[in-house]
Structure 1
Amino acid sequence: MKRFLTILFSSLFILSCTNIENNKNENVIKLQTELDSIKKIITENQNSSKTQIATFLTFQKENAEQAMNFYIKLFNNSKIINIKRWEKGAPGKEGTIMHATFSLNDKLFMCSDSPAIHDWGFTPAVSNFVECKDEQQLNKLFSKLSENGKVMMPLNNYGFSTKFGFVEDQFGVSWQLNLK
């Protein structure tokens, strides 16, 4: 009987340890799954809560689309992301841009054709600064952006860079073009 009880208790102990080990493995898997889910939620919240800053261009001459197309042809890695147009009966002229999103060399921009004509327009005090990779790119951008626009500072060495130019394009948007 003593031997039977010893075998019984030993068997129960082994069985108990096996159950504990199985439960431990199940719990580890459950905890890892839960941890992975929490990490995913935190990552999604961090990504959605980041403040995105984009340049927004308000056009008042119904030429937002023309300007946007001009810019995306001028800069590499550029594309139209989304366009929402004014519909018939809306405050803006039908077919013009209510809101568009585009990127210029992977930098986010937005634009619209404003139905209201404001007392203000674009100002050179706020401009797009472009760091050019070489002199060829600088000359091309300067030439294209100043065409039918206004040269505010011709290409030159002003002491703070190798070559620099400041232009207002045909749409009234200002550009500082720099070569280190």
Structure 2
Amino acid sequence: MQNIVTNIWCNGNAEAVGQFYASVFPNTRSWVESRYPHEGLLDFQQSLAGEPLTVAVDLDGMRLTLINAGPEFTPNPSISLMLNFDPILFGDDAMAARAQLDAVWAAFLDGGTVLMPLQEYPFSPRFGWVQDRYGVTWQLILSDASGEVRPFVMPSLLFGGPVQDRAAEAVDYYIQVFPDAELGMRVPYEVDSGPRRRAR
């Protein structure tokens, strides 16, 4: 059972965003879950009367909720969705996993922006970070077939700027808050760096 559902703020286009994600991924569908009423709306909501309020996306078994609203907020790279292309999920076929990763990358790149190029890195033979045409960021990684199997979709939180170096602290806190949570892999940087360290 999925305990945490990722919600994504959309600027009046949640239905189109959901349809786009359904076209990018296999085994994925989207549907309008609720609509704004025609009466009783606040002034700034009048243009949304009768329009979708929330759009649900079932991304290969993981639920996302798209909130249809206005331009008050926009997605940013501090929260992204990591996609694990594990050969185990593709019948132990590394080439199939890589081909699917490349296909999803190409779809996101259409109208999107590269944050980290799709290439080999010390932590993965193929990784890339992209912001799609709707401002949502995705990290695509070709996982190690010999390692621990991870979910295909994992929400990822970025701790930078004034909260740099506090990710471990946040993890410890979340483990206390959620009764079924458990610690996964923890990989520290080999050398302290960044603006928070320099500011001390």
Q: TM above 0.5, one fold?
A: yes
C-alpha distance in structure 2 between counterparts of 1:82 and 1:52, whole Å: 21
C-alpha distance in structure 2 between counterparts of 1:137 and 1:53, whole Å: 26
Which consecutive unaligned segments of at least 5 residues does structure 1 have?
1-49
C-alpha distance in structure 2 between counterparts of 1:162 and 1:75, whole Å: 22
Alignment of 1:118-133 (within 5 A): 118=72, 120-132=73-85, 133=87
Asked if residue 58 in structure 1 is aligned to residue 9 in structure 2, the reply is yes
Q: Give the total of aligned pairs.
A: 128
SS at match of 1:101: strand
More strand by share: 2
Residues 55 and 68, structure 2, Cα contact 8 Å, conserved in 1: no
C-alpha distance in structure 2 between counterparts of 1:99 and 1:138, whole Å: 28
Name which structure has the greater RCO, CA cutoff 8 Å, separation 6+: 2
Asked if residue 155 in structure 1 is aligned to residue 118 in structure 2, the reply is yes
Residues 129 and 138, structure 2, Cα contact 8 Å, conserved in 1: yes
Q: TM-score, normalised by structure 2?
A: 0.59
Runs of 4+ aligned residues of structure 1 deviating over 3 Å after TM superposition are none
C-alpha distance in structure 2 between counterparts of 1:137 and 1:123, whole Å: 25
C-alpha distance in structure 2 between counterparts of 1:154 and 1:64, whole Å: 27
AA paired with 1:172?
G
Structure number, greater radius of gyration: 1
SS at match of 1:142: helix
Alignment of 1:59-98 (within 5 A): 59-60=10-11, 62-80=12-30, 82-89=32-39, 90=41, 91=45, 93-98=48-53
C-alpha distance in structure 1 between counterparts of 2:57 and 2:126, whole Å: 28
Per-residue Cα deviation, 1:134-177 (whole angstroms, up to 9, x for no partner): 11111101100111010111111111001001000000000000
Q: Give the corresponding residue for 1:13.
A: none
Q: Among the aligned pairs, what percent are the same residue?
A: 27
Per-residue Cα deviation, 1:109-152 (whole angstroms, up to 9, x for no partner): 1012114x32x411112101001241111110110011101011
Q: Give the corresponding residue for 2:63.
A: 108
1:81 Cα shift? 5.3
Seen in structure 2, the aligned counterparts of structure 1 residues 148 and 81 have a Cα distance that, compared at 3 Å, is closer
C-alpha distance in structure 2 between counterparts of 1:152 and 1:54, whole Å: 25
1:51 Cα shift? 7.2
C-alpha distance in structure 2 between counterparts of 1:76 and 1:110, whole Å: 18
Q: Give the corresponding residue for 1:141.
A: 104
C-alpha distance in structure 2 between counterparts of 1:51 and 1:141, whole Å: 24
Q: TM-score, normalised by structure 1?
A: 0.65
SS at match of 1:143: helix
C-alpha distance in structure 1 between counterparts of 2:76 and 2:18, whole Å: 18
Q: Calculate the aligned-residue CA RMSD, in Å.
A: 1.8
